[in-house]
């Protein structure tokens, strides 16, 4: 089942992004941090402190996984990367 979200605020976030390089991950992290500051997204789940993820700091975990929610439509998004083996990760909408 495909859920079509008509939310204007998180419209751009509904595309699945395959993360193959750390810089892609950090670029998404930076976008999310901005959206969190703007009050568009908020963090609802995570296995490490999202605010501590910075480009020049070593990864905090072998797997980094965070779930965010759009404040407006309550859509959830997952950002997961596997850092240890460098197999990458993805940004995707969670369909429940």
Binding site for Zn ion (CB under 5 A): 7, 9-10, 70, 72-73, 75
Dist. CA 66–CA 29, nearest whole Å? 10
Nearer CB in complex with Zn ion: 24/72 = 72
The tokens for 73 are 């439509």
Residue 69 beta carbon to Zn ion: minimum distance, rounded to whole angstroms: 9
Nearer CB in complex with Zn ion: 25/68 = 68
Residue 5 beta carbon to Zn ion: minimum distance, rounded to whole angstroms: 6
Nearer CB in complex with Zn ion: 13/29 = 13
- 3-state SS assignment for residue 85: coil
Q: Which of 59, 67, 68, 2 is nearest to 36 (CA)?
A: 68
């Amino acid at each position: 089942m495909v859920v079509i979200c008509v939310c204007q605020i998180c419209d751009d976030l509904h595309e699945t992004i395959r993360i193959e390089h750390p810089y892609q991950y950090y670029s998404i992290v930076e976008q999310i941090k901005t959206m969190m500051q703007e009050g568009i997204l908020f963090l609802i789940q995570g296995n490490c402190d999202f605010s501590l993820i910075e480009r020049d700091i070593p990864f905090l975990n072998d797997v980094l996984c965070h779930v965010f929610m759009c404040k407006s439509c309550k859509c959830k998004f997952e950002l997961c990367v596997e850092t240890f083996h460098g197999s990458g990760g993805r940004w995707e909408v969670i369909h429940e």
